[in-house]
Structure 1
Amino acid sequence: MVKTPHIVKLDRSSGQYEVIANHWLRVAEGCDDAIPAHTLLPLKEWLERRDELLDRADVGIWFAPDDEPEALGADAARLSMIAVDFPAFTDGRGFSIGRLLRERYGFEGELRAVGDVFKDTMYYLKRCGFDAFEVRADKDVHEAAKGLNDFSDAYQGAVDQPLPLFRRRSA
Protein backbone atom coordinates (compact mmCIF):
# COMPACT_ATOMS: atom_id res chain seq x y z
CA MET A 1 0.00 0.00 0.00
CA VAL A 2 1.22 3.48 -0.87
CA LYS A 3 -0.04 6.76 0.52
CA THR A 4 1.83 10.04 0.45
CA PRO A 5 0.72 12.74 2.88
CA HIS A 6 0.28 15.53 0.30
CA ILE A 7 -0.28 16.00 -3.41
CA VAL A 8 -0.17 18.94 -5.78
CA LYS A 9 -3.64 19.55 -7.22
CA LEU A 10 -3.97 21.68 -10.36
CA ASP A 11 -7.13 23.52 -11.40
CA ARG A 12 -7.05 22.94 -15.15
CA SER A 13 -9.32 25.87 -15.97
CA SER A 14 -7.35 28.53 -14.06
CA GLY A 15 -3.88 26.96 -14.05
CA GLN A 16 -3.62 27.58 -10.30
CA TYR A 17 -2.39 24.82 -8.01
CA GLU A 18 -2.42 24.01 -4.33
CA VAL A 19 -0.83 21.45 -2.07
CA ILE A 20 -3.54 19.40 -0.38
CA ALA A 21 -3.82 16.33 1.81
CA ASN A 22 -3.91 13.02 -0.04
CA HIS A 23 -7.01 10.99 0.82
CA TRP A 24 -6.38 8.13 -1.61
CA LEU A 25 -4.63 4.85 -0.87
CA ARG A 26 -3.00 2.97 -3.75
CA VAL A 27 -2.90 -0.80 -3.30
CA ALA A 28 -0.38 -2.93 -5.15
CA GLU A 29 -2.49 -6.05 -5.18
CA GLY A 30 -6.18 -6.67 -4.96
CA CYS A 31 -8.27 -6.17 -1.88
CA ASP A 32 -10.25 -8.98 -0.35
CA ASP A 33 -14.02 -8.62 -0.32
CA ALA A 34 -14.74 -5.07 0.81
CA ILE A 35 -12.92 -2.21 -0.87
CA PRO A 36 -12.74 0.87 1.35
CA ALA A 37 -13.49 4.36 0.09
CA HIS A 38 -10.69 6.30 -1.60
CA THR A 39 -8.84 3.23 -2.84
CA LEU A 40 -6.90 3.03 -6.10
CA LEU A 41 -6.86 -0.50 -7.46
CA PRO A 42 -4.55 -1.92 -10.13
CA LEU A 43 -6.23 -1.92 -13.54
CA LYS A 44 -6.31 -5.72 -13.65
CA GLU A 45 -8.11 -5.94 -10.31
CA TRP A 46 -10.61 -3.26 -11.31
CA LEU A 47 -11.37 -5.05 -14.60
CA GLU A 48 -11.99 -8.31 -12.73
CA ARG A 49 -14.49 -6.55 -10.44
CA ARG A 50 -15.79 -4.02 -12.98
CA ASP A 51 -19.50 -4.69 -12.54
CA GLU A 52 -19.48 -4.09 -8.79
CA LEU A 53 -17.13 -1.07 -8.94
CA LEU A 54 -18.15 0.91 -12.02
CA ASP A 55 -20.65 3.12 -10.19
CA ARG A 56 -18.44 3.76 -7.14
CA ALA A 57 -16.96 7.27 -7.35
CA ASP A 58 -14.84 6.55 -4.26
CA VAL A 59 -12.84 3.79 -6.00
CA GLY A 60 -10.35 4.53 -8.73
CA ILE A 61 -7.73 2.67 -10.68
CA TRP A 62 -4.05 3.00 -11.35
CA PHE A 63 -2.16 2.08 -14.49
CA ALA A 64 1.22 0.38 -14.49
CA PRO A 65 3.49 1.44 -17.38
CA ASP A 66 2.70 -1.71 -19.36
CA ASP A 67 -1.09 -1.43 -18.95
CA GLU A 68 -3.03 -0.39 -22.03
CA PRO A 69 -5.71 2.32 -21.82
CA GLU A 70 -7.65 0.38 -24.45
CA ALA A 71 -8.43 -2.23 -21.77
CA LEU A 72 -10.49 0.39 -19.93
CA GLY A 73 -11.98 1.93 -23.04
CA ALA A 74 -15.21 3.91 -22.68
CA ASP A 75 -15.40 3.09 -18.96
CA ALA A 76 -12.73 5.77 -18.45
CA ALA A 77 -15.34 8.49 -18.90
CA ARG A 78 -17.33 7.10 -15.95
CA LEU A 79 -14.48 7.14 -13.41
CA SER A 80 -13.63 9.99 -11.06
CA MET A 81 -9.97 9.08 -10.41
CA ILE A 82 -7.20 7.42 -12.40
CA ALA A 83 -3.54 7.32 -11.39
CA VAL A 84 -0.64 6.47 -13.67
CA ASP A 85 2.59 5.05 -12.26
CA PHE A 86 5.96 6.43 -13.35
CA PRO A 87 8.41 3.88 -11.86
CA ALA A 88 11.50 5.70 -13.17
CA PHE A 89 12.35 9.06 -14.66
CA THR A 90 13.43 7.34 -17.86
CA ASP A 91 10.07 5.57 -18.36
CA GLY A 92 7.83 7.85 -20.40
CA ARG A 93 5.01 5.44 -21.18
CA GLY A 94 2.81 7.12 -18.58
CA PHE A 95 2.79 10.36 -20.57
CA SER A 96 1.15 8.50 -23.46
CA ILE A 97 -1.30 6.75 -21.15
CA GLY A 98 -2.40 10.09 -19.71
CA ARG A 99 -2.84 11.69 -23.09
CA LEU A 100 -4.80 8.72 -24.44
CA LEU A 101 -7.12 8.72 -21.43
CA ARG A 102 -7.91 12.41 -21.93
CA GLU A 103 -8.05 12.64 -25.72
CA ARG A 104 -9.24 9.25 -26.92
CA TYR A 105 -11.24 7.85 -24.00
CA GLY A 106 -12.86 11.02 -22.67
CA PHE A 107 -11.60 10.84 -19.11
CA GLU A 108 -12.46 14.10 -17.31
CA GLY A 109 -11.83 13.15 -13.67
CA GLU A 110 -8.66 13.55 -11.64
CA LEU A 111 -5.64 12.19 -13.50
CA ARG A 112 -2.83 11.67 -11.02
CA ALA A 113 0.86 11.01 -11.70
CA VAL A 114 2.47 8.77 -9.08
CA GLY A 115 5.93 7.28 -8.63
CA ASP A 116 9.05 9.08 -9.84
CA VAL A 117 7.36 12.49 -10.05
CA PHE A 118 9.36 15.64 -9.29
CA LYS A 119 9.76 19.27 -10.37
CA ASP A 120 11.44 18.60 -13.73
CA THR A 121 8.53 16.45 -14.94
CA MET A 122 5.57 18.50 -13.67
CA TYR A 123 5.17 20.87 -16.63
CA TYR A 124 5.25 18.03 -19.16
CA LEU A 125 2.80 15.96 -17.14
CA LYS A 126 0.41 18.91 -17.10
CA ARG A 127 0.70 19.18 -20.90
CA CYS A 128 -0.39 15.53 -21.18
CA GLY A 129 -3.51 16.12 -19.07
CA PHE A 130 -2.39 15.31 -15.54
CA ASP A 131 -3.91 17.52 -12.86
CA ALA A 132 -2.70 15.87 -9.64
CA PHE A 133 0.83 14.87 -8.68
CA GLU A 134 2.21 12.65 -5.93
CA VAL A 135 5.71 14.03 -5.63
CA ARG A 136 8.55 11.70 -4.66
CA ALA A 137 9.02 11.45 -0.90
CA ASP A 138 12.60 12.73 -1.09
CA LYS A 139 11.52 15.96 -2.81
CA ASP A 140 9.85 19.08 -1.40
CA VAL A 141 6.25 19.09 -2.65
CA HIS A 142 6.03 22.90 -2.60
CA GLU A 143 9.23 23.31 -4.59
CA ALA A 144 8.14 20.63 -7.06
CA ALA A 145 4.84 22.44 -7.65
CA LYS A 146 6.76 25.41 -9.03
CA GLY A 147 7.69 23.18 -11.98
CA LEU A 148 4.14 23.53 -13.30
CA ASN A 149 5.05 27.06 -14.39
CA ASP A 150 8.59 26.48 -15.68
CA PHE A 151 7.62 27.71 -19.16
CA SER A 152 5.29 30.52 -20.15
CA ASP A 153 4.14 28.98 -23.44
CA ALA A 154 4.59 25.94 -25.67
CA TYR A 155 5.02 25.56 -29.43
CA GLN A 156 3.22 22.24 -29.78
CA GLY A 157 -0.43 21.48 -29.20
CA ALA A 158 -1.23 19.17 -26.28
CA VAL A 159 -4.07 18.34 -23.89
CA ASP A 160 -3.69 21.59 -21.96
CA GLN A 161 -3.50 23.75 -25.14
CA PRO A 162 -4.74 21.94 -28.27
CA LEU A 163 -3.67 24.62 -30.75
CA PRO A 164 0.01 24.96 -31.60
CA LEU A 165 1.57 28.41 -31.19
CA PHE A 166 1.57 29.26 -34.91
CA ARG A 167 -2.22 28.68 -35.04
CA ARG A 168 -2.80 30.82 -31.95
CA ARG A 169 -0.70 33.63 -33.41
CA SER A 170 -2.54 33.61 -36.73
CA ALA A 171 -5.97 33.65 -35.07
Structure 2
Amino acid sequence: MSKVIKNGRIVNDDWQILTVAEGEEAAALSVPAGRVIVPLATWLARRDELAARGDVGVWFAGNEGPEALADDIGRVAVIAVSFPKFVDGRGYSTAALLRTRYGYTGQLIAFGEVLRDQFNYLTRCGFDTLQPREGRYTDAQFDAAIASLDDYTEPYQASVLHPQPLFRRIARAGVKA
Protein backbone atom coordinates (compact mmCIF):
# COMPACT_ATOMS: atom_id res chain seq x y z
CA MET A 1 0.00 0.00 0.00
CA SER A 2 1.22 3.43 -0.86
CA LYS A 3 0.85 6.48 1.33
CA VAL A 4 -1.28 9.35 0.11
CA ILE A 5 -2.53 12.65 1.45
CA LYS A 6 -6.31 12.42 1.63
CA ASN A 7 -8.30 15.38 2.92
CA GLY A 8 -5.20 16.76 4.64
CA ARG A 9 -4.16 13.53 6.37
CA ILE A 10 -1.63 10.80 5.58
CA VAL A 11 -3.38 7.50 4.95
CA ASN A 12 -2.53 4.16 3.40
CA ASP A 13 -4.18 3.78 0.02
CA ASP A 14 -5.48 0.42 -1.14
CA TRP A 15 -6.43 1.46 -4.67
CA GLN A 16 -4.33 -0.14 -7.40
CA ILE A 17 -3.81 1.95 -10.53
CA LEU A 18 -3.62 -0.20 -13.65
CA THR A 19 -1.72 0.83 -16.75
CA VAL A 20 -1.75 -0.48 -20.29
CA ALA A 21 1.60 -1.90 -21.41
CA GLU A 22 2.96 -0.90 -24.79
CA GLY A 23 1.32 -2.98 -27.49
CA GLU A 24 -1.51 -4.09 -25.18
CA GLU A 25 -5.13 -3.27 -26.00
CA ALA A 26 -7.03 -1.34 -23.32
CA ALA A 27 -10.12 -3.51 -23.83
CA ALA A 28 -8.08 -6.67 -23.18
CA LEU A 29 -6.43 -5.38 -19.99
CA SER A 30 -6.56 -7.97 -17.21
CA VAL A 31 -8.39 -6.35 -14.30
CA PRO A 32 -7.62 -8.09 -10.98
CA ALA A 33 -10.03 -8.40 -8.07
CA GLY A 34 -10.02 -5.66 -5.48
CA ARG A 35 -10.10 -1.90 -5.66
CA VAL A 36 -8.68 -0.92 -9.03
CA ILE A 37 -8.46 2.25 -11.09
CA VAL A 38 -8.47 1.51 -14.82
CA PRO A 39 -7.48 3.73 -17.75
CA LEU A 40 -10.32 5.65 -19.38
CA ALA A 41 -9.99 3.55 -22.57
CA THR A 42 -10.51 0.35 -20.56
CA TRP A 43 -13.59 1.80 -18.87
CA LEU A 44 -15.07 2.93 -22.19
CA ALA A 45 -14.52 -0.52 -23.73
CA ARG A 46 -15.90 -2.49 -20.74
CA ARG A 47 -18.06 -0.05 -18.74
CA ASP A 48 -21.00 -2.37 -18.00
CA GLU A 49 -18.79 -5.21 -16.81
CA LEU A 50 -16.63 -2.90 -14.66
CA ALA A 51 -19.55 -0.89 -13.24
CA ALA A 52 -21.20 -4.13 -12.09
CA ARG A 53 -18.09 -4.92 -9.98
CA GLY A 54 -18.50 -1.86 -7.80
CA ASP A 55 -15.04 -0.84 -6.55
CA VAL A 56 -13.67 0.35 -9.88
CA GLY A 57 -12.31 3.78 -10.62
CA VAL A 58 -11.17 5.50 -13.80
CA TRP A 59 -8.03 7.51 -14.48
CA PHE A 60 -7.39 10.16 -17.09
CA ALA A 61 -4.17 10.75 -18.99
CA GLY A 62 -3.21 14.36 -19.64
CA ASN A 63 -4.63 14.34 -23.16
CA GLU A 64 -8.03 12.95 -22.11
CA GLY A 65 -10.87 15.23 -21.11
CA PRO A 66 -13.62 14.58 -18.57
CA GLU A 67 -16.35 14.89 -21.18
CA ALA A 68 -15.65 11.27 -22.18
CA LEU A 69 -16.91 10.16 -18.75
CA ALA A 70 -19.79 12.62 -18.44
CA ASP A 71 -22.54 9.98 -18.69
CA ASP A 72 -20.81 7.65 -16.22
CA ILE A 73 -19.73 10.07 -13.48
CA GLY A 74 -22.08 8.44 -10.96
CA ARG A 75 -21.03 4.89 -11.85
CA VAL A 76 -17.36 5.12 -10.85
CA ALA A 77 -16.10 4.82 -7.28
CA VAL A 78 -13.13 7.14 -7.73
CA ILE A 79 -11.53 9.26 -10.45
CA ALA A 80 -7.79 9.80 -10.78
CA VAL A 81 -5.77 12.11 -13.00
CA SER A 82 -2.23 11.32 -14.09
CA PHE A 83 0.52 13.91 -13.87
CA PRO A 84 3.29 12.31 -15.98
CA LYS A 85 5.59 15.35 -15.62
CA PHE A 86 5.55 18.16 -13.12
CA VAL A 87 5.28 20.68 -15.97
CA ASP A 88 2.10 19.09 -17.40
CA GLY A 89 -0.74 21.16 -15.97
CA ARG A 90 -3.65 19.73 -17.95
CA GLY A 91 -4.76 17.71 -14.93
CA TYR A 92 -5.63 20.92 -13.07
CA SER A 93 -8.22 21.75 -15.73
CA THR A 94 -9.55 18.20 -15.72
CA ALA A 95 -10.11 18.35 -11.95
CA ALA A 96 -11.77 21.76 -12.06
CA LEU A 97 -14.09 20.64 -14.88
CA LEU A 98 -15.01 17.43 -13.06
CA ARG A 99 -15.95 19.38 -9.94
CA THR A 100 -17.68 22.37 -11.53
CA ARG A 101 -19.10 21.44 -14.93
CA TYR A 102 -19.78 17.75 -14.32
CA GLY A 103 -20.67 17.95 -10.62
CA TYR A 104 -18.38 15.14 -9.50
CA THR A 105 -18.38 14.92 -5.70
CA GLY A 106 -16.47 11.66 -5.13
CA GLN A 107 -12.81 11.03 -4.41
CA LEU A 108 -10.50 12.75 -6.91
CA ILE A 109 -6.86 11.63 -6.94
CA ALA A 110 -3.82 13.40 -8.43
CA PHE A 111 -1.07 10.82 -9.01
CA GLY A 112 2.36 10.61 -10.60
CA GLU A 113 4.77 13.53 -10.56
CA VAL A 114 2.82 15.36 -7.88
CA LEU A 115 5.21 17.68 -6.05
CA ARG A 116 4.91 19.35 -2.68
CA ASP A 117 4.93 22.88 -4.08
CA GLN A 118 1.85 21.97 -6.14
CA PHE A 119 -0.22 20.50 -3.29
CA ASN A 120 -2.04 23.72 -2.43
CA TYR A 121 -2.92 24.39 -6.08
CA LEU A 122 -4.06 20.81 -6.62
CA THR A 123 -6.45 20.98 -3.67
CA ARG A 124 -7.79 24.35 -4.84
CA CYS A 125 -8.63 22.74 -8.20
CA GLY A 126 -10.65 20.03 -6.50
CA PHE A 127 -8.30 17.15 -5.73
CA ASP A 128 -8.91 15.65 -2.30
CA THR A 129 -6.23 12.94 -2.58
CA LEU A 130 -2.59 13.51 -3.56
CA GLN A 131 -0.49 10.50 -4.48
CA PRO A 132 3.14 11.35 -5.23
CA ARG A 133 5.30 8.77 -6.93
CA GLU A 134 6.12 5.88 -4.55
CA GLY A 135 9.18 6.62 -2.41
CA ARG A 136 9.38 10.30 -3.38
CA TYR A 137 8.78 11.62 0.15
CA THR A 138 9.71 10.45 3.63
CA ASP A 139 7.19 10.49 6.47
CA ALA A 140 8.70 13.73 7.77
CA GLN A 141 8.37 15.33 4.33
CA PHE A 142 4.75 14.20 4.15
CA ASP A 143 4.09 15.81 7.55
CA ALA A 144 5.71 19.07 6.41
CA ALA A 145 3.69 18.98 3.19
CA ILE A 146 0.45 18.64 5.11
CA ALA A 147 1.38 21.59 7.31
CA SER A 148 2.06 23.66 4.17
CA LEU A 149 -1.44 23.04 2.78
CA ASP A 150 -2.71 25.83 5.04
CA ASP A 151 0.02 28.36 4.18
CA TYR A 152 -2.41 30.42 2.11
CA THR A 153 -5.62 30.97 4.03
CA GLU A 154 -7.18 33.53 1.69
CA PRO A 155 -6.16 33.10 -1.95
CA TYR A 156 -6.83 36.01 -4.28
CA GLN A 157 -8.11 34.00 -7.21
CA ALA A 158 -11.36 32.10 -7.50
CA SER A 159 -11.06 28.31 -7.43
CA VAL A 160 -13.12 25.19 -6.89
CA LEU A 161 -12.72 25.68 -3.11
CA HIS A 162 -13.36 29.44 -3.26
CA PRO A 163 -15.69 30.19 -6.21
CA GLN A 164 -15.51 33.96 -5.58
CA PRO A 165 -12.31 36.01 -5.85
CA LEU A 166 -11.02 37.63 -2.65
CA PHE A 167 -12.51 41.06 -3.37
CA ARG A 168 -15.97 39.44 -3.46
CA ARG A 169 -15.42 37.45 -0.24
CA ILE A 170 -14.10 40.25 1.98
CA ALA A 171 -16.36 43.04 3.17
CA ARG A 172 -14.62 46.41 3.41
CA ALA A 173 -15.59 49.25 5.68
CA GLY A 174 -17.36 52.06 3.86
CA VAL A 175 -18.12 50.00 0.74
CA LYS A 176 -21.73 49.25 -0.06
CA ALA A 177 -22.41 45.77 -1.44
1:169 CA displacement: 1.4
In the alignment, what sits opposite 1:127? Answer: 124
The higher radius of gyration belongs to 2
- Matched position secondary structure for 1:106: coil
Q: TM-score scaled to structure 1, two decimals? A: 0.87
| Cα distance in structure 1, aligned partners of 2:104 and 2:75 | 8
Q: Are 2:165 and 1:168 aligned?
A: no
| Cα distance in structure 1, aligned partners of 2:95 and 2:53 | 21
Alignment of 1:16-27 (within 5 A): 17-27=8-18
| Cα distance in structure 2, aligned partners of 1:160 and 1:56 | 32
Q: Are 2:100 and 1:109 aligned?
A: no
- Matched position secondary structure for 1:52: helix
Percentage of matched positions with identical amino acids: 42
Contact 1:25 1:40 in 2 (8 A): yes
In the alignment, what sits opposite 1:13? Answer: none
Contact 1:119 1:146 in 2 (8 A): no
Alignment of 1:1-150 (within 5 A): 5-10=2-7, 17-29=8-20, 30=26, 31-32=29-30, 35-136=32-133, 137-140=135-138, 141-150=142-151
| Cα distance in structure 2, aligned partners of 1:167 and 1:57 | 42
Q: TM-score scaled to structure 2, two decimals? A: 0.84
Cα RMSD for the two superposed structures: 1.7
Deviation string, structure 1 residues 23-63 (Cα, Å, up to 9, x no partner): 0000102532x542210100000111111223544110111
| Cα distance in structure 1, aligned partners of 2:52 and 2:122 | 28
1:138 CA displacement: 1.9
1:157 CA displacement: 1.3
| Cα distance in structure 2, aligned partners of 1:72 and 1:23 | 23
List structure 1 runs of 4+ shifted beyond 6 angstroms: none
- Matched position secondary structure for 2:42: helix
Residues 54 and 90 of structure 1, relative CA distance in 2, 3 Å threshold? same
| Cα distance in structure 2, aligned partners of 1:46 and 1:143 | 36
1:92 CA displacement: 0.2
| Cα distance in structure 2, aligned partners of 1:87 and 1:64 | 8
- Matched position secondary structure for 2:132: coil
